[in-house]
Structure 1
Amino acid sequence: MNLLYKWDALLLIMGLMLYFTGCAPKVIPYSQSTDVPEPNEVAVAHYNWGMASAKDGNFDQAIMELHLAIQNEPGWVMPLFTLGVVYGNQGELDKAIQVWERATQLDVNFAKAHYNLAVAYLHKEEKARSIASLREAIRLDKEALSSAKVDPALEGIRNTPEFQELEQDTTTKQ
């Protein structure tokens, strides 16, 4: 039963990765104040290889490429975010949390990283931290509440007074 739960969590996190980052080519946000308009070509190449490796299920290669992207462009949040997703897929929640926290330090308005932190903290049974991260995600992006209402990964907090208060606070502010 425990293995089945972990498999469901793995599939959920992989689904979130695909939902939040997408697989199609698109403009890659740099997300940090800098004079450079976009990440350097080497970092982008490693990021793209990391994404392709993750999509193919080669998580060790993805981790290596994403680390190289971060090394080449330390202020770029997308490799950090994606690295967190890969770590989550590997069941390495502590590492995922660490890189998502770093992503939110680089870009405090990165709602998707805050949302993923909420999910990860809930899996670690840290409900207060989960609610705090979800609150921040919703503050930054009101659509996060709609996702949280139906996301199976957040089922463990939906019936709590804190979640209901968060939901009520959000709807009264609209």
Structure 2
Amino acid sequence: YRRELQANPRAPEIHYRIGRLILSKQHTAQSVAAGRNEMLLELQNNPQYAGAEFMLGELAQEAGQWPQAVQHFGRATQLDPAFADAFLGLGIALLGENNVPQAIPALERAEQIDAQNPEIHRQLAIAYGRVNRPADAQRESALQRQTQSQTQLPARAQ
């Protein structure tokens, strides 16, 4: 990737891929800073790249920086309205800010895009529980268990 970057400094997704490689290893203060820097460089070259915004949201969320996480995940959802994980991240970050009324629509959108993701159902169950919607929370908990068992079936078959 570094050679490609030397040959073409504005190559799309190169900084993103370098950042992902850096962040795929153990997270230290140095590796997180280097990964974040690569994502920011990607956005300088390609401001419309939802993946880099998503990764910046993930890094902010890991650090408990909820407002920054909301900002990056929100931007990722604007750039790619079909990015289920970005809507999930946005919902989780909004829950982290205790902004349940805005978290629910983000999580519901994630569910519309990817109804087979058990984490989306888990987070929706939590959100519905916080706004005293027990029937919805129970439904989502059941969906979480169902989708969890469905995603584990292929592993058992091997």
Structure 2 counterpart of 1:53, from 2, 7, 22:
22
Q: Write the distance in 1 (CA, Å) between the matches of 2:135 and 2:20.
A: 33
Cα-Cα RMSD = 2.7
Q: Write the distance in 2 (CA, Å) between the matches of 1:107 and 1:167.
A: 28
Instruction: Using the TM superposition, give the Cα deviation of residue 79 of structure 1 relative to its aligned residue in structure 2, in angstroms.
Output: 1.0
Q: Given residue 94 of structure 2, which amino acid in structure 1 is its aligned partner?
A: Y
Partner of 1:87: 60
1:111 lines up with 2:84 in the alignment: yes
Q: Given residue 164 of structure 1, which amino acid in structure 2 is its aligned partner?
A: D
Partner of 1:44: 13
Q: Write the distance in 2 (CA, Å) between the matches of 1:106 and 1:150.
A: 25
Question: With structure 2 as the length reference, what TM-score do the two structures score?
Answer: 0.69
CA contact (8 A) 2:84 2:109 kept: yes
Partner of 2:127: 157
CA contact (8 A) 1:43 1:68 kept: no
1:74 lines up with 2:47 in the alignment: yes
Instruction: Using the TM superposition, give the Cα deviation of residue 69 of structure 1 relative to its aligned residue in structure 2, in angstroms.
Output: 0.6
Q: Write the distance in 2 (CA, Å) between the matches of 1:102 and 1:139.
A: 19
Q: Which blocks of at least 5 consecutive residues in structure 2 are unaligned?
A: 1-8, 144-158
CA contact (8 A) 2:58 2:69 kept: yes
Partner of 2:99: 126
* Larger RCO (CA within 8 A; separation ≥ 6): 1
Q: Write the distance in 2 (CA, Å) between the matches of 1:111 and 1:166.
A: 22
Q: Write the distance in 2 (CA, Å) between the matches of 1:163 and 1:122.
A: 19
Q: Write the distance in 2 (CA, Å) between the matches of 1:147 and 1:89.
A: 16
State the aligned residue count.
127
Partner of 2:120: 148
1:97 lines up with 2:64 in the alignment: no
Q: Given residue 113 of structure 1, which amino acid in structure 2 is its aligned partner?
A: A
Partner of 1:36: none
CA contact (8 A) 2:128 2:137 kept: no
Q: Write the distance in 2 (CA, Å) between the matches of 1:101 and 1:167.
A: 26
Q: Write the distance in 2 (CA, Å) between the matches of 1:109 and 1:92.
A: 24
